[in-house]
Amino acid sequence: MKRIAVANGPNLNLLGTREPEIYGKTTLAEIENLVRARADQLGAAFVWFQTNHEGALLDWLQQNARGATGLILNPGAFTHYSYALYDCLRALDVPTVEVHLSNLHARPEAFRQVSVTAPAARGVISGLGVRGYLLALEHLLADD
């Protein structure tokens, strides 16, 4: 059975209330339920994680992403500075799709327009909201 790991970084636990004009009104629990339902439809096993701590994310990835069919990663703010996360992704060698609810390139802050983790990913989905998670899931489970 194919297995997808989904990891979410800092402050994503605040979705639904944190700057809804940027990140939308959908909570992280609602996103998890949507992705879980779609994974079930596609016959895939599914593990989900969120943390506000960089080391906890690295530990979880090393324990849960290795050997997965794919990884969906929303690194949150770690996107912009975590070379430790970049190194972890490279070491795991798991097909990864980086997902961002907002369009990084349209953000007014210059630092938010740069992803140091993206070069370790197969692809990046940015700015498509919750749909980005579902597209990443479908891509990672496709047989092409």
CATH number at residue 92: 3.40.50.9100
Region of 11 please: left (phi>0), alpha (psi -120 to 50) or beta. left
Residue 117: which domain range? 3-141
pLDDT over 80 at 116, yes or no:
yes
Which residues are catalytically annotated? 23, 100
Percent of the chain with pLDDT over 90: 78
Judge whether 7 and 74 are in contact, CB under 8 Å. Answer: yes
pLDDT of 143 > 80? The answer is no
The rounded distance, in Å, linking the Cα atoms of 36 and 49 is: 12
Q: What is the pLDDT of residue 91?
A: 97
Please indicate whether residue 120 or residue 23 has the higher confidence score (pLDDT): 120
Domain count, the chain: 1
Contact 115, 79 (CB under 8 A): yes
pLDDT at 59 over 80: yes
**pLDDT of 113 over the 70 cut:** no
Grade residue 102 by pLDDT with cuts at 50, 70 and 90: confident
